Amino acid sequence: MTENENNAEYFETIISIAPGHIYWKNRSGFFMGCNDEQARTFKLASAKEVFGKTDYDFYEKEQAEDIVKADRKIISSGEATILEEPVILLDGRRAIFISKKMPLRNKKGEIVGVIGMSFDITDRKIMEAELSSAKDNIENIRLMSINIADELKSPSHSVDELLAFGVRFLSSIIDLVPGHVYWRDKHDNYLGCNNEQALTLGFKTRDEIRDKKAYFDLPQAEAEKLLENDRLVLEQEQTITLEEVGLRANGDEGIFLTKKAPLYDSDKKVMGLLGVSIDITDKKKAEAELVLANERVESMRLVSASIAHELRTPLQSIRLFASGLESFLPDLIQSYELARQASLDLPFVDKDSLEIMKNGIASVYRQVDHASLVIDMLLTNLSFNKVDKHQFKVYSIADCVEEALGIYPFHPEEKALIHFSREGDFQFLGSNTLIIRVILNIIKNALYSIASVNRGRLKIGLEDNRLIIEDTARGISAEVLPYIFDKFYTKKTSHGTGIGLAFCKMCIAEHGGEILCESEEGCYARFIVNFPALDLANNKE
């Protein structure tokens, strides 16, 4: 067997038995090739049978459309991506794959398809990954993939030329596999790897890694710990998936999702180990931050319930006290005025103080109502879960706005700043309680902005299934605007939890709509709530 024949068989074996699912497609979504594990998942007798098929041949229509949409995004943006893909396989099993995909380019840099690698993480619940790779001679690879049968029969090429071309083809595919691909012998010496692995380990080319010891870049204690997992693969001939700590390309410590499998020789004896690793450090950090955020939400829920209980009792007492004053204060004031007219010896109370006392009860009621509303909104926002859409009914959006305006505890001067017209009223299918809470949230934020700069007005309009709430106060800066709907994001220094607008976004999403914000700093902030059109005949979207 010639050197080219050996190399071709060698690289073909590496691709064939690589752990995980490896596949590549052209721009039209047709599969150009895959490894054995992907073929088994597709219920194919061999990897060759995948050629010319699409995702629609293996997945339900909706799932295939999601995959195609993600692939097209990679092709149009020219950027690699990491995503989680839930699918129903041909055997009916529900699975979740963490997929790392990148554009396939030819020598001119033109994108000619997509190449990806996926791990089945259903049982492990591990998510995301990162991709990076380069391509060499992809136009020839594409032509080779499409016309391989004709090329083999062509009299214009010698056997050695065809084998050499096949070696380049297989070698390029290995280098295109996203993540780190490497294979070692039974003595822990590197036999080969892809470019990403070589660059991460500090080598300029992947040829330099040959015969280097495994984990040479790590302290001995850490290296020995990792070698324990390799022994399991080599001695017990097991394929394992695990998370490992290693060095990233920038020299920092990172977390890698790794899958390792035995590498066999032609006699079916274990000759070494084949591994694929993906850097999931950023994903793990994001997961940790999500856990902390969820813990914070749960803590806030518990604390808010306690605060609500502690505050509502004194608020109720204040209301009862105000009610008592409301009953007797007019008589007391009248008695004071009669006594003054009779020239009785009484402490002096000026007219302004008497006016304040007359109007003070209404102010107390207003402040109690405002405090109660804030408590209700906080509890609603924190305890919000997906709603039961079977309880949805048809409501008028104008009625919801008017009810929100009716229960909001305005200061006397605030109501004059608001303009609302029922013109353009429309109906929506949903929960009027939740939509009213959304409106109250936006109104509260707008009035806060107006008060902070002591200028501006608030306009509420209805148009083409849209609710538009705009204030002409200070607006929102371009730096802040992209994050206003994120949980716990707030720029209010004196108050604010950063959950109000996040609640609004979740609530509107449950109604099948979306909420947007347009703003110009120093001029205005305009919130646009889009509702899905309602089919009144069938009482559904």
Label each residue of 401-440 as H, E or C: HHHHHHHCCCCCCCHHHEEECCCCCCEEEECHHHHHHHHH
CA dihedral 42, 45, 49, 54 (to 10 degrees): -10
Distance, in Å, from the CA atom of 98 to the CA atom of 81, rounded to the nearest integer, reads 11
Question: What is the CA 477 to chain-centroid distance, rounded?
Answer: 23
Distance, in Å, from the CA atom of 39 to the CA atom of 33, rounded to the nearest integer, reads 9
Which structure tokens are listed for 404?
């929100």
CATH fold label, 179-279: Beta-Lactamase (3.30.450)
For residue 62, give every residue at least 6 positions away whose Cβ sits within 8 Å of its Cβ, in sequence order, or none. none
Nearest to 445 by CA among 465, 482, 470, 463: 470
Following DSSP, what letter does each residue of 47-86 receive, concatenated?
GGGGTT--GGGTS-HHHHHHHHHHHHHHHHH---EEEEEE
The DSSP bridge partners found for residue 428 are 395
* Strand, helix or coil for residue 192: strand
How far apart, in Å, are the Cα atoms of 411 and each of 196, 275, 494, 526? 63, 67, 19, 22
- Whether residue 55 contacts residue 151, with contact meaning beta carbons closer than 8 Å, is answered with no
Distance, in Å, from the CA atom of 396 to the CA atom of 403, rounded to the nearest integer, reads 11
Which structure tokens are listed for 379?
């509890």
> Which amino acid is it at 145?
S
CA dihedral 301, 306, 312, 314 (to 10 degrees): -150
Q: Which residue's structure tokens are 């995301």?
A: 128
pTM of the model as a whole? 0.41
Nearest to 235 by CA among 207, 272, 204, 182: 272
In a structure prediction context, what are the per-residue pLDDT tens digits for the chain, which is 541 residues long?
Answer: 566 666 666 667 777 777 778 898 999 999 988 888 899 889 999 888 999 999 999 988 888 998 998 899 999 998 888 888 888 888 788 888 888 888 888 778 888 899 888 888 776 653 333 333 333 333 443 444 444 445 444 545 565 665 666 666 667 777 777 788 899 999 999 988 888 888 888 888 888 988 898 888 778 888 888 888 898 899 988 888 888 887 787 778 888 888 898 988 888 889 999 988 888 888 888 888 777 777 766 666 666 666 666 677 777 778 787 787 778 778 887 887 888 788 787 787 777 777 777 677 777 777 777 677 666 666 665 555 556 677 789 999 999 999 889 888 888 788 899 999 999 999 999 888 889 889 988 999 999 999 999 999 999 999 999 999 999 999 999 888 988 888 665 655 444 455 678 888 888 988 899 999 999 999 999 999 999 988 765 554 4
How far apart, in Å, are the Cα atoms of 1 and each of 162, 267, 268, 421? 14, 16, 19, 86
Q: Do domains 1-178 and 386-541 have the same CATH topology?
A: no
CA count, 13 A, side-chain hemisphere, 58: 21
Q: Indicate the length of the chain as a whole number.
A: 541
Nearest to 115 by CA among 215, 9, 31, 51: 31
Q: What integer pLDDT is reported at residue 361 of this predicted model?
A: 76
For residue 347, give every residue at least 6 positions away whose Cβ sits within 8 Å of its Cβ, in sequence order, or none. none
Strand pairing class (31-34; 393-396): unpaired
Distance, in Å, from the CA atom of 497 to the CA atom of 499, rounded to the nearest integer, reads 6
Question: Domains of the chain: which residue ranges?
Answer: 1-178, 179-279, 281-383, 386-541
Q: What's the start-to-end Cα distance of the chain, in Å?
A: 67
67-86 b/e (C-beta count within 10 Å ≥ 16 → b): bbebbeebbeeeebbbbebe
Which structure tokens are listed for 83?
């995503």
- Whether residue 513 contacts residue 431, with contact meaning beta carbons closer than 8 Å, is answered with no
Return the number of other C-beta atoms located less than 10 Å from residue 454's C-beta. Answer: 7
Q: Which residue's structure tokens are 């993939």?
A: 145
* Strand, helix or coil for residue 307: helix
Q: Report the CATH superfamily, name and number, of domain 1-178.
A: PAS domain (3.30.450.20)
Distance, in Å, from the CA atom of 379 to the CA atom of 381, rounded to the nearest integer, reads 5
CATH fold label, 386-541: Heat Shock Protein 90 (3.30.565)
269-292 b/e (C-beta count within 10 Å ≥ 16 → b): ebbbbbbbbbbbbebbeeeeeeee
